Structure 1
Amino acid sequence: MRGLTTLRTLLTALLLWQGAPLAAQTLTAADHAAPASEAASDSGDSPTAPSEPRPVQNEALYLEALRALAADQPERANELLQRFVKDEPLHAGAWLDLAFTECTLGHSADAERLFREIEARFKPPPGIMELIEQHRARGCNQKPSWRPLWAVSLGRGYDNNVNQGASSNLFTTGSGSDSTQWELSPDFLPKPDHQTTASFDYMQQADEAGSLVLAQVRLRQNDHVHEQDTASVLLGYERPWEWGRWRGYGTVAVSVLQLQGQLYQRQEQVQLRATPPLAQRLPEELQWSLLASMSHVRYPTRTKFDANIVELGTNFYWRGARQWSFSLSGMADQGQNGRLGGDRHGWYSALQLSQPVTASLRGDLGWSRQVWHSSEVYAPGQIDLVRHQDTRQLRASLQYTLAPHHSVQLEWRAIRNQENISLFQYNSRSIQLNWRWDNF
């Protein structure tokens, strides 16, 4: 979207360079300009030189509208641009952006009215006229942002520990002189296997406010370790909101996870993302948001596993030739009465980098860490430890575009789960080749 903003800046400069001297008054006054000129000519006076365009008085409002356009929020951008041109009637670029957003929203009559006013008031150069004629030729009855977006992916890979088997075959229970050392059976040790994966993602805009309906399906089947086969479905609804100078998104989602053909987990989640007013002062490429979420997780086949999880955090995202994001959040997990280890608290952090290598090849690198601290001894008399979990993950991938909407991705992933209870410690490494087809 950085290129889009640059294009708009160039178009605005072109319009102001040729058009602004011709529009020294507002549109209402311009309707009476011709008679005034004729009167001056008849009196023998020389016409006065056109005045220079006055400085933009509310540039922050225009920049906010451009941010809304970059975030694919045409309804919000349209509202902001209407407010802006009312105060800045000589800003040719804003008039052009407003006409394009009307066209994007399917308001063909309003878009055509604005195109005609731009032609009459600013006398656009040939390049701008070509853009306007292209929009006219395409028509404004279609709403591109309303078309469904989807992606299908198929993959084949290998994981050296599909069951998250323990790193050590020895395990100790009890404490002190009453401790006993056990040797774990092969079922609790790492099991390597090849696997086939499939996924489907769907997104549809639901209204002019920018609300979205979301759906995700994930499937994974191992060649031999079928007790670790998984299938999951997620359905969600996301709606933008605005409160004063704060804005963001609210999301509700429900998901189910199936393990070995049986329902293993159900989850309901409410999430709120907010962009504070201070973020509007940051460079356009940098986005900053705050996050709050609450989840209720249920395990139908497990006793006393249900939990409520609250998360509060922040996220930074840089959108340029090289893209990166960083997130950090604190978490609290209130478990069902009688859950082993009791309640727990922790934090999560993630760093993602994306870098184009060539026109068709992109590299991605990601790192994350999740830490949990339990509040009680895990199993008194057997495992007399307060459980501390520390899971780190490193991911690297290369994605190559074969043709429009078709790409392949080679991904490598390493997970290291360090805990103070050896039974739960595990390491895994996987590699996978994916083919992706999308209409984005």
Structure 2
Amino acid sequence: MRRVAALLAPLALTLALAAAPAQAQRGVDDAAESAPTPPVPTPAPAPTPAPPETPRQLEPDLYLEAMQAIAEGRNNDASSTLARMLAYGPRHAGEWLDLALLQCALGHADEAEQLFQHIETRFDPPQGIRDIIVQQRQQGCAQWRAQRQWSLNLARGHERNVNQGVNLDTYNIGGDGRDYELEARYRPQADRYTTVALDLMSDLTQNGDLGFVQLYARHYDRMDEYNTISLFAGADHPWRYRHWRLRTSALVGALSLGGRLYQAQGQLQLRVTLPLALPPSLEVSVLGGLSHVNYRTLSDFDSNISELRGMLAYRREARQAQLSLGWLNDHAVSARPGGNRAGWSLGLYGRLPLGRQFEGELDLTRQHWVGSNVYSPGLIDQLRRQDNTTLRAALSYPLGTSSALQLEWRQVRNRENIPIFQYDNKVLQLSWRWHGGR
């Protein structure tokens, strides 16, 4: 559908130039920003004053609005815009053809054919317009089909600190001045692992609604108690308010640890893209989200998390970059150690081609939390301050049009003011990714 919409724009421009020279300034490409040519007012006979501008003269370029909606997969919004265009009433063959091509792009073949016939019988279009009508009839109108995509990822890796153990031989808590020896099971333990990840995504409606499912499993060679399986499912709904682009998403999921259900969660998010006058490669958006986390094997750890995040994204061909900065609040549902938490997060991401075949990724995230209460009165009489930094680098090599190999390295540094919670971790992983869809 989106490919058909992209092909219609230059055709409509040709028709508008041929059928109505006064409309030659009308931008038909989605990226065009030239203002439409103002209509020439009909002089009113004296002494009658000139009539005020009609709603049609004040109406923005509905054709561009409809084409943009089709390009973004919002066919229902395009149909609404088309209805507004019909309500205003086309004035010449060029505008009738705009309506016909929009109907065809939306898959309304009968309505498009009626408009084509109307153009041929009511107007005397030039041969160029007739040729395009013939070509469109031969090509046929678009038929909506749900687009589906999937990916399968198989990986083998090595993790240095599976259990998030601390690099301490002794520790001191309780303020009694005594040092206690740390048991071996709480020190870093390394292991190799195998992962399987499956992602499915599909259109749900003609208006760009998406549904997705993500399944992930990790199995360690020796440390079975840290095996994990997670399943998440959700939906995403795009919409617009005037020039503001918005996306609403909902997600639910569960995570098992060591063969037992460990955590369940739900999330709601709203992303707003700001209508700023920026180059096409740049985008500024704001994301707000609410999450609820329920721990099935731990008491007093359930929480509600809210976030507000600003993002600056750059995309040009195969190059991508994103900067994000967010505010976080973690509200403890019950008497969690340390109480509520407040913090911030920083994210930097970049992807670019390296030579003719390789592609590189670099990802840096940092998250900082501060508790509101003493973590454990009488035992750990401190406010917990968490500072976690993750650095990730990846190198991908395509094996064809639908698969690739990826070598990934990740380092985690968790620096806290309470020594027994500090840990480091390093992961090295080689994965094969296979993807497809229609």
Q: Which TM-score bucket, shorter chain as reference?
A: 0.7 to 0.9
The alpha carbon displacement at 1:116 in A equals: 7.3
Equivalent-residue separation in structure 1 for 2:257 and 2:337 (angstroms): 22
Contact 1:238 1:250 in 2 (8 A): yes
Identify the residue that residue 195 of structure 1 maps to in structure 2: 193
Equivalent-residue separation in structure 2 for 1:312 and 1:190 (angstroms): 34
Identify the residue that residue 354 of structure 1 maps to in structure 2: 351
> Structure 1 residues 304 and 82 mapped into 2: Cα distance closer, same or farther (>3 Å)?
same
The alpha carbon displacement at 1:12 in A equals: 6.4
The alpha carbon displacement at 1:308 in A equals: 0.9
* Length, aligned pairs only: 400
Match 1:369 to one of 360, 363, 366? 366
Identify the residue that residue 250 of structure 2 maps to in structure 1: 252
The alpha carbon displacement at 1:433 in A equals: 1.6
> Structure 1 residues 172 and 89 mapped into 2: Cα distance closer, same or farther (>3 Å)?
farther
TM-score, with length taken from structure 1: 0.78
Equivalent-residue separation in structure 2 for 1:61 and 1:168 (angstroms): 67
Identify the residue that residue 106 of structure 1 maps to in structure 2: 107
Gaps of 5+ in 1: 27-52
Identify the residue that residue 323 of structure 2 maps to in structure 1: 326
Equivalent-residue separation in structure 1 for 2:313 and 2:97 (angstroms): 30
Moved more, 165-174 or 390-399: 165-174
Amino acid at match of 1:151: S
The alpha carbon displacement at 1:211 in A equals: 1.8
Amino acid at match of 2:294: R
Equivalent-residue separation in structure 2 for 1:215 and 1:318 (angstroms): 27
1:210-249 paired onto structure 2 within 5 Å: 210-249=208-247
> Structure 1 residues 190 and 131 mapped into 2: Cα distance closer, same or farther (>3 Å)?
farther
> Structure 1 residues 164 and 84 mapped into 2: Cα distance closer, same or farther (>3 Å)?
farther
Contact 2:308 2:326 in 1 (8 A): yes
Equivalent-residue separation in structure 2 for 1:134 and 1:402 (angstroms): 38
Match 2:286 to one of 290, 293, 306? 290
> Structure 1 residues 408 and 21 mapped into 2: Cα distance closer, same or farther (>3 Å)?
same
The alpha carbon displacement at 1:255 in A equals: 0.7
Amino acid at match of 2:248: G
> Structure 1 residues 128 and 267 mapped into 2: Cα distance closer, same or farther (>3 Å)?
same
Match 1:338 to one of 332, 335, 339? 335
Moved more, 178-187 or 248-257: 178-187
Contact 1:308 1:335 in 2 (8 A): yes
The alpha carbon displacement at 1:266 in A equals: 0.6
> Structure 1 residues 150 and 6 mapped into 2: Cα distance closer, same or farther (>3 Å)?
closer
Q: Percent identity?
A: 36
Contact 1:369 1:392 in 2 (8 A): yes
Query: Alpha-carbon deviations, 1:141-163, whole Å to 9, x = none?
Result: 3x24x132221111111111122
Identify the residue that residue 427 of structure 2 maps to in structure 1: 430
Q: Secondary structure at the residue paired with 2:17?
A: helix
Equivalent-residue separation in structure 1 for 2:298 and 2:101 (angstroms): 55
Q: Secondary structure at the residue paired with 2:179?
A: strand
The alpha carbon displacement at 1:240 in A equals: 2.6
Contact 1:62 1:94 in 2 (8 A): no
Amino acid at match of 2:142: C
Identify the residue that residue 140 of structure 1 maps to in structure 2: 142
> Structure 1 residues 87 and 366 mapped into 2: Cα distance closer, same or farther (>3 Å)?
farther
RMSD in angstroms over aligned alpha carbons?
Answer: 3.6
> Structure 1 residues 437 and 172 mapped into 2: Cα distance closer, same or farther (>3 Å)?
same
The alpha carbon displacement at 1:437 in A equals: 1.8
1:33-432 paired onto structure 2 within 5 Å: 54=37, 67-77=68-78, 79-80=80-81, 102-103=103-104, 105-112=106-113, 121=125, 124=128, 132=136, 135-136=139-140, 140-141=142-143, 143-144=144-145, 146-175=146-175, 178-276=176-274, 279-321=275-317, 322-358=319-355, 360-432=357-429
The alpha carbon displacement at 1:113 in A equals: 5.4
Contact 2:302 2:334 in 1 (8 A): no
Q: Secondary structure at the residue paired with 1:187?
A: helix
Contact 1:255 1:267 in 2 (8 A): yes
Amino acid at match of 1:293: G
The alpha carbon displacement at 1:378 in A equals: 0.9
The alpha carbon displacement at 1:415 in A equals: 1.2
Gaps of 5+ in 2: 24-35, 40-56
Amino acid at match of 2:234: G
The alpha carbon displacement at 1:60 in A equals: 7.2
> Structure 1 residues 303 and 311 mapped into 2: Cα distance closer, same or farther (>3 Å)?
same
> Structure 1 residues 305 and 129 mapped into 2: Cα distance closer, same or farther (>3 Å)?
same
Amino acid at match of 1:365: L
The alpha carbon displacement at 1:100 in A equals: 6.3
Moved more, 121-130 or 240-249: 121-130
> Structure 1 residues 62 and 156 mapped into 2: Cα distance closer, same or farther (>3 Å)?
farther
Contact 2:69 2:78 in 1 (8 A): yes
> Structure 1 residues 77 and 408 mapped into 2: Cα distance closer, same or farther (>3 Å)?
farther
Moved more, 79-88 or 165-174: 79-88
The alpha carbon displacement at 1:73 in A equals: 2.9
